[in-house]
Amino acid sequence: MPRLEKKDLLKWFEAGAKPRSQWKIGTEHEKFVFHKENLERVGYFGKSGISDLLNKLAQENSWEKILENNNTIALKDDTGASISLEPGGQLELSGTPLENLHQTCKETGQHLKMIKKAMKDLGLSMIGLGYDPKWSRSNQKWMPKGRYEIMRNYMPKVGALGLDMMLRT
């Protein structure tokens, strides 16, 4: 095999580059959801759970539900945006590919306003942190997504903190 040189790597990246006219910016905004009354993270099932929140968002905002085993695990709208569910119940906005930062700021603001309205009725709130400093891994509730069960069994085999990454970030 010939030696890989810097020019080879540059050529590979250049071949995959889009012209400037096709560049887009997408928002990714993740947050932890918790019960206002006791600050505990929210599970999927039960009163005021993530399931209730996603279904309320879908009903009140015309988002399409994404189902797995009859559980709402994500939402999407007609602009290309989605709200997905992370392993420990973190909600993530994956925004529409947009032209500039002003548009992403507006989209994020609208998203947060929509989420806050739905959460208020359920006694929930949210916080955007890189890591959950309050609750340990054993306090987290797993979301009902099949691939998370696979990852839950695999991660301890390859490192000590993989499950913390899934549940607490």
Q: Where are the domains of the chain?
A: 23-168
Instruction: Say which CATH topology domain 23-168 has.
Output: Alpha-Beta Plaits (3.30.70)
CA distances from 150 to 24, 58, 154 (A): 33, 28, 6
pLDDT at 138 (0 to 100): 86
**pLDDT at 137 exceeding the cut of 90:** no
Encoded tokens for 53 = 């929140």
What token pair was written down for 20?
A: 């400037």
pTM: 0.86
Q: How many CB atoms lie within 10 A of CB 131?
A: 9
Q: pLDDT tens-digit profile of 74-86?
A: 999 999 999 999 9
**Per-residue pLDDT at 14:** 93
Name beta bridge partners: 32: 127
What is the DSSP pairing of strand 28-35 with strand 71-76? unpaired
